[in-house]
Amino acid sequence: MSRSGGVVWLKTVVLLAAAAAMLTSVSCRSTVCHLIGGKELWKPNHNYTDWSLQQTFYVGDWLHFVYNKEMFTVLEVNETSYKNCSDEGIIFNVTGGFGSDVIKLTQPKTYYFIANGDYCYNNDMKVAVNVVEIVYVYQPPMMMMMMYLLPLQVMCVLLFLTRNRQ
């Protein structure tokens, strides 16, 4: 192979490698801050179960509770306390006293939150949030399908270079 043919071959390989690198991608996800209850916020007589089931919660996301600080508290509790609207199984008192509190979801598990006293029992102010791990899935772009043709393209380039040398 002549020197100029080798240079062309090298440039072609480098160009194809660069194209392959640019065509690969991994889908990423930013963390999300979920406003508890959506536009209804944290208040009595709202169906938080339906709201929660319409959301997908991932490790690293945040929950944002907005409520009347003079009336309500937000408590993270165990499953039994959640079912019984009891504050005996408190894991964490989310209430910061400002009426706008956030908590980061750090583990893949179900988190249980209730309001204080009768607000949970009589007004259904409780929510269960099922948190899952983020699974990053490699999603090649449509152009990546062209990479399956790469061996054929290389053969065509080699054939072209070989014929042009003669």
Whether residue 90 is contained in a domain is answered as yes
Q: How far apart are CA 23 and CA 42, in angstroms?
A: 45
Query: Structurally, how many domains does the chain consist of?
Result: 1
Whether residue 1 is contained in a domain is answered as no
Task: Give the structural domain span for 124.
Answer: 33-132
State the pLDDT at residue 12. Answer: 66
- Using only C-alpha atoms, the chain has a radius of gyration, in whole angstroms, of 28
CATH code assigned at 100: 2.60.40.420
State the pLDDT at residue 25. Answer: 47
The predicted model gives 147-154 an average pLDDT of 58
* Strands laid side by side in the 126-132 sheet: 57-58, 126-132, 110-115, 74-77, 90-93
Predicted confidence (pLDDT) at residue 149 exceeds the cutoff of 60: no
* Strands laid side by side in the 33-35 sheet: 33-35, 62-66, 100-104
Residue-wise pLDDT tens digits, 55-104: 999 999 999 999 888 888 899 999 999 999 988 888 999 888 788 999 99
Whether residue 161 is contained in a domain is answered as no
Whether residue 22 is contained in a domain is answered as no
Higher pLDDT, 161 or 132: 132
In the structure encoding, which two tokens stand for residue 15, read together? 């160009």
State the pLDDT at residue 147. Answer: 56
Q: 8-12, 37-41, 90-94, 122-126 — which is least confidently predicted?
A: 8-12
CA-nearest of 54, 32, 36, 50 to 99 is 36
The predicted model gives 4-16 an average pLDDT of 61
